[in-house]
């Protein structure tokens, strides 16, 4: 249900004629919802901006939110959702910032003392417009949150798979958390690249931080070891705690001739011994 041009112009007049009063009431309602988590001045500035956005849209004769004249208002609303989402406000609190306009409008219309059938009809029409604006805010909020989550998932992937140089010619990958296919892929790529970059002959894969070593984890680790061997590097698996060792035996996983150690320190000692036993090739 779009606003007729008459309704839009009356809405514009209302917004214009009571701009200060409206912004003040609007800010008060929103502030009571936020309980001081945003400063009053900040809210007043935001609501003032939105109020001017609505006014500009109505001046331009926007019948609906997807009209051309509402372009600026849509921009303001999605800016608002982005800020709210990044500051950690809930979707509800974000939408309320817009819905509160209805209550503020009602307060103004009530106060004017000339409420009649037209006023009522107008108010319903304005409300419908504000509702659409709030829903739009809600949508943008969800979109921003989804972006945030996927960004964080990506960062987590990066964070959780560092390849570190432990010693001359020895690199280590401390695996932490769940090793699913996506992470296993990242680990393998990183490890192989680091082996080339540092021309290290040894790599230690530490699984101390992996809570459950099931066949999928084992398979990913085995594949990584085979790939490293193809490049001429030897892999040692460390961090096999007693409970993990027993589970691996019960499952029937075989690590074949791959060296495994209980701790990272044991693995490093093992590698250094191997290294000193061989005459230096240079």
Partner 1 sequence: MSDRITVASDQDVVRVRQLVRTAAVAAKLSLVDQTKLVTAASELARNTLVYGGGGTVELISVDNGRRKGIRIVFADEGPGIADLDLALTDGYTTGGGLGLGLSGARRLVDEFDIDTKVGEGTSITVTKWCR
List of residues contacting partner 1 (CB under 8 A): 178, 180-181, 211-216, 218-219, 242-244, 246-247, 250-253
Q: Which is nearer to partner 1, 39 or 215 (CB)?
A: 215
DSSP bridge pairs for 234: 202
Please, are residues 264 and 175 in contact by the beta-carbon 8 Å criterion? Answer: no
Please enumerate in sequence order all residues whose Cβ is within 8 A of that of 214, keeping only pairs 6 or more positions apart, or say none.
251
Measure CA 35 to chain center: 25
Please give the backbone phi and psi of residue 216, each rounded to the nearest 5 degrees, phi first: -65, -45
Q: How far is the CB of 181 from partner 1 (least distance, A)?
A: 8
Please count the other Cβ atoms lying within 10 Å of the Cβ belonging to residue 48: 17
The C-alpha atoms of residue 170 and residue 172 are separated, in whole angstroms, by: 7
Please, are residues 196 and 231 in contact by the beta-carbon 8 Å criterion? Answer: yes
Q: Which is nearer to partner 1, 262 or 274 (CB)?
A: 262
Q: Which is nearer to partner 1, 42 or 214 (CB)?
A: 214
Widest Cα–Cα separation across the chain:
100
Q: How far is the CB of 187 from partner 1 (least distance, A)?
A: 16
The C-alpha atoms of residue 104 and residue 124 are separated, in whole angstroms, by: 14
Please count the other Cβ atoms lying within 10 Å of the Cβ belonging to residue 176: 16
Please count the other Cβ atoms lying within 10 Å of the Cβ belonging to residue 34: 17
Q: Which is nearer to partner 1, 167 or 255 (CB)?
A: 255
Q: Which is nearer to partner 1, 119 or 219 (CB)?
A: 219
Query: Integer distance in angstroms from the first to the last C-alpha of the chain?
Result: 82
Q: How far is the CB of 76 from partner 1 (least distance, A)?
A: 36
Q: How far is the CB of 140 from partner 1 (least distance, A)?
A: 25
Q: How far is the CB of 86 from partner 1 (least distance, A)?
A: 24
Q: How far is the CB of 217 from partner 1 (least distance, A)?
A: 9
Q: Which is nearer to partner 1, 226 or 231 (CB)?
A: 226
């Amino acid at each position: 249900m779009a606003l007729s041009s008459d309704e839009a112009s009356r809405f514009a007049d209302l917004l214009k004629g009571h701009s200060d009063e409206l912004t003040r009431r609007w800010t008060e309602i929103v502030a009571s919802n936020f309980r001081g988590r945003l400063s009053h001045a900040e809210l007043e500035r935001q609501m003032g901006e939105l109020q001017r956005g609505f006014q500009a849209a109505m001046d331009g004769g926007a019948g609906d939110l997807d009209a051309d004249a509402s372009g600026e208002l849509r921009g303001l609303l999605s800016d608002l959702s982005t800020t709210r989402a990044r500051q950690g406000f809930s979707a509800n609190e974000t939408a309320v910032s817009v819905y509160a306009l209805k209550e503020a409008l009602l307060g103004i219309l009530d106060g004017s003392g000339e409420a009649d059938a037209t006023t009522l009809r107008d108010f319903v029409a304005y409300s419908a417009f504000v509702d659409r604006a709030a829903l739009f805010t809600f949508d943008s909020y969800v979109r921003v949150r989804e972006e945030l989550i996927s960004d964080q998932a990506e960062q987590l992937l990066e964070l959780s798979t560092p390849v570190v140089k432990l010693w001359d010619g020895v690199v280590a990958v401390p695996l932490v958390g769940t090793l699913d296919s996506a992470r296993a892929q990242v680990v393998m790529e990183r490890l192989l690249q680091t082996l080339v970059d540092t021309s290290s002959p040894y790599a230690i894969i530490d699984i101390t931080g992996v809570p459950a070593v099931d066949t999928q984890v084992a398979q990913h680790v085995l594949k990584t070891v085979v790939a490293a061997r193809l490049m001429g590097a030897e892999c040692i698996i460390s961090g096999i705690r007693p409970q993990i060792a027993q589970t691996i035996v019960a499952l029937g996983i075989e690590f074949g001739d791959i060296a495994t150690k209980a701790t990272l320190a044991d693995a490093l000692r093992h590698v250094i011994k191997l290294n000193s036993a061989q005459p230096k090739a240079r």
